[in-house]
A and B are shown apart, each in its own frame.
Chain A
């Protein structure tokens, strides 16, 4: 079962954070088809957030077709976002490690590496939701 958390200072709306966390879990294969999402009551009892926030997040996920609500039973995953390219993650990760080592050798600190990476990732194409 997935566990939610809230990042207070990011400026991202709480319901959007929940949606992002569900999508990340789906992408990484932590949630698969048929898995149940925690009930609204369970979520708010563990994380002190507004139940409407959870409802809103679940509703939007349902609208996107990712989950389905079964009245009286719960909310269940309909399909995953498991990237077929999941297999490509491991070699990509190793290439990335090598690149980071090169950047450090060139004298970049962690922040500069992050900035370089973030601007490169975001600039050419807009991240679509």
Chain B
């Protein structure tokens, strides 16, 4: 593939004895909306903060758009970040925040910023501390978008928003990527949001990457097989079992397979993205060396 938006090799982050990320290897393509999903505490924030240079790795390497994160002004200009809980300067007005962006970013698109603020119905003179959660998130997103980055990294941007605000946020984000071709990496613990907007998926559970790939390819290669009660050995070859469950009569397997399943004793069905993610979340990970 051409230069990936994010490349990680054996990326590890340790805090004393606690392992936040262990041996992550990824190659996230550009011009995609990538979803990073996993339970709370899985390491999503750690990975994203390493991508924008807020945290240094303990071991392994990470490269964003071909360079080390935060390795200088040029790199900082290419990557936009909205942190979890969308921090803003509560004593400064919305307009002050825009001026801040204009003064510190060479690629700043002031017209875009002002149009968005107007569209969102935000009062430029309003102090940022008085905005609602949804408005703060939209302000933070505006700042990140008007910076015109090549890659936009969002850490649980919609976690604290009500459904309406959430939908509006995602619409804004998608409209921007449609127009500018920005690559996006966003994390969430809600799969339903990711299903609509992401075309590349990373599942992170317990500090490890469980699966990563193109969403269409993942959907096409994962199946739910149901049939009479049997062992996984009774499955056709070339099949990788992700999850299995059994009753006294019936067995259900969630599998990944590159070859079509043509065993007549098995009923092969598709999987929703949510089911796929859940299957990987319940699968035990590999042993981590501490």
Contacts and interface: CB of A to CB of B under 8 A. Distances in A.
Touch test A–B (CB under 8 Å): yes
A48 B197 contact: yes
Contact of B174 (A6, A15, A48): A48
Given A6-B196, A48-B197, A13 B178 contact: no
Nearest to A43: B178
A20 interface: no
A54 B271 CA distance: 21
Main secondary structure of the interface of A (DSSP, over half): helix
What size tier do the contact residues of chain B reach?
20 to 34
A11 B196 contact: no
Nearest to A6: B196
B170 interface: yes
B267 interface: no
What size tier do the contact residues of chain A reach?
20 to 34
Contacts of B33: 50, 52
Contacts of A45: 171, 174-175, 178
Given A13-B219, A48-B167, A8 B192 contact: yes
Contact of B170 (A12, A40, A41, A48): A48
B169 to A, nearest CB: 8
Given A8-B192, A50-B199, A44 B171 contact: yes
Interface in B183-224: 192, 195-199, 215-216, 219
A40 B178 contact: yes
Nearest to A49: B196
Interface in A38-91: 40-41, 44-54, 56
A50 B175 contact: no
B270 interface: yes
Contacts of B271: 11
Nearest to B194: A50
Contacts of B179: 41
B175 A44 contact: yes
Given A11-B270, A14-B196, A51 B178 contact: yes
Given A41-B179, A44-B174, A52 B272 contact: no
21 contacts: A8-B192, A9-B272, A11-B269, A15-B216, A41-B175, A44-B171, A44-B174, A44-B178, A45-B178, A47-B196, A48-B171, A49-B174, A49-B197, A50-B33, A50-B177, A50-B196, A50-B198, A50-B199, A51-B174, A52-B33, A53-B199
Closest 7 CB pairs of A and B: A48-B170, A44-B174, A51-B178, A45-B175, A41-B178, A11-B272, A48-B171
Interface of A: 6, 8-15, 40-41, 44-54, 56
Given A10-B272, A50-B196, A51-B178, 17 more contacts: A6-B196, A8-B192, A8-B195, A9-B272, A13-B216, A14-B195, A14-B196, A41-B175, A41-B178, A44-B175, A47-B196, A48-B167, A48-B170, A48-B197, A49-B196, A51-B177, A52-B32
